[in-house]
Amino acid sequence: MLRIALLMLFRDRAKYVMLIVGLTFCSLLMTQQSSVFCGLMLWTSATVRNIGAKVWVFDAKVEQVNEVIPLREIEVTRVRGIPGVEWAVPLYVGIEQARLSDGSFQNVQLVGLDTATFVGRPMQITKGRIEDLRMPDAVIIDQVGVDKFRKKGITIDIGTTFEINDKTARVVALCHANRSFLGQPYIYTTYDRALQFAKPQRKMMSCVLVEPKPGVSSKELAESISAIPGLRAFERDDLFWSTVWWYIKNTGIPISFGTVVLMGVIVGIAIAGQTFYLFILDNLRYLAALKAMGARMPILAAMVFLQSFSVGFVGFGLGVGLTSIFGYKVLKIEQPPFFMPWQVPAFVAVIIILICCFSAAIGLRQIAKLEPAVVFK
């Protein structure tokens, strides 16, 4: 019986293709858009992932890593005095303007690493040595910066100089860092030098990076630091999620992507449901014949569900397959954002199953109403 169901499905080529195209499009839209959304959200926390310290200490009102309120430098010593702190070092993060030799501008994400220890240094040095950062005016620029400067007609290599707030910066190494939300290149330098590059303010230090003592969990330590008035500490993952949630709550990004995903669902339901309904309607004669021959309702239901799920499976497979092609292409050039956790295909699979169930239910309603006498009409 089930073989007959599949034969029925594959024989009607036009409707089969139509069903698959609808579901493929639906799952492609959903997976691709969700992945781009996830990628974009991942970009917002690029600084957290690039620096990678276990505990971050900010001003009490800071909610996310891209919007920091500067602290007094004395807070480092304060944090060092908290039990459970193995070490604490200052970090400068800020957006500064770099001026190129031809006079054009580029906003950059300046990161000042602790001068003595380089805590939070870039892990993937593609050219040069991290030790050279100790030399005068030295900075390390990431690949995004190299690409951005190349677009402006300037080749960045070791030894290239440009200006940050009228002060000379000399590239001593190139690195690869996670791309930031606004696409500003990461420029690493030492903390002291970063303060020289940055526009002078009364308070300059962005945050304190803390390593918990062995045996102390990062979460507990973050809580005990947050208990100090004026300070707020995040564990690395908490900071990541806090940043992501900040963007979800405070920007229109989730609405925009959510709408597209919803459109995918509607398109899926509309096309797949309607086509499947027509398909059942077309094959009503055969189903009536089967019913007349004594096929019971559960068997007919199983046949319809099999047809619906087969279409759903093929559509889902093609949809995620196309997304993967997009994903592999995009990952090479790192733009637009793309990140696919396992939840994305799982979520889309659930939606597709729901669409299939809905379509099958519409079909079954027709079959239930069916009189076996139809076959003789």
Q: Are 8 and 283 in contact (CB under 8 A)?
A: yes
In 3-state terms, what secondary structure has residue 70? coil
Q: Are 65 and 239 in contact (CB under 8 A)?
A: yes
CB atoms < 10 A from the CB of 87, how many?
14
Phi/psi class of residue 68: alpha, beta or left (left: φ > 0; alpha: ψ in -120 to 50)?
A: beta
CB atoms < 10 A from the CB of 365, how many?
12
Determine if the peptide bond prior to 336 is cis (ω within 30°).
Answer: yes
Dump strand ranges (E) for the chain: 55-59, 85-99, 105-113, 124-128, 138-142, 161-164, 167-176, 186-190, 207-212, 231-235
Among 65, 71, 79, 89, the residue binding other proteins under the rule CB under 8 A is: 89
Shorter beta-carbon distance to other proteins: residue 87 or 358: 87
Residue 237 touching other proteins (CB under 8 A) = no
Residue 136 touching other proteins (CB under 8 A) = yes
Residue type, 281: L
Residue 2 touching other proteins (CB under 8 A) = no
Residues 243-282 binding other proteins (CB under 8 A) are: none
Residues 59-78 binding other proteins (CB under 8 A) are: none
Shorter beta-carbon distance to other proteins: residue 170 or 285: 170
Among 153, 200, 215, 252, the residue binding other proteins under the rule CB under 8 A is: 200
Q: Token pair of 97, please? A: 């303007």
Residue 320 touching other proteins (CB under 8 A) = yes
Among 324, 354, 361, 372, the residue binding other proteins under the rule CB under 8 A is: 324
Residue 87's contacts (CB-CB under 8 Å, 6 or more residues apart) are 80, 210, 211
Applying CB under 8 A, the span of 13-21, 100-108, 218-226, 290-298 interacting with other proteins comes to 13-21
Among 60, 69, 192, 266, the residue binding other proteins under the rule CB under 8 A is: 192
User: In the stretch 21-40, what mask flags binding to other proteins with x, by CB under 8 A?
Assistant: ----------x---------
Q: Token pair of 254, please? A: 């989730």
CB of 115 to other proteins, least distance (A): 6
Which of 157, 160, 162 minimizes the C-alpha distance to 143? 157
Residue 211 touching other proteins (CB under 8 A) = yes
Residues at the site binding other proteins, with contacts judged by CB under 8 A: 6, 10, 13, 16-17, 20, 31, 52-53, 86-87, 89, 114-121, 123-132, 134-136, 138, 158-159, 161, 167, 172-173, 178, 192, 195-196, 200, 211, 313-325, 327-328, 331, 339-342, 344-345
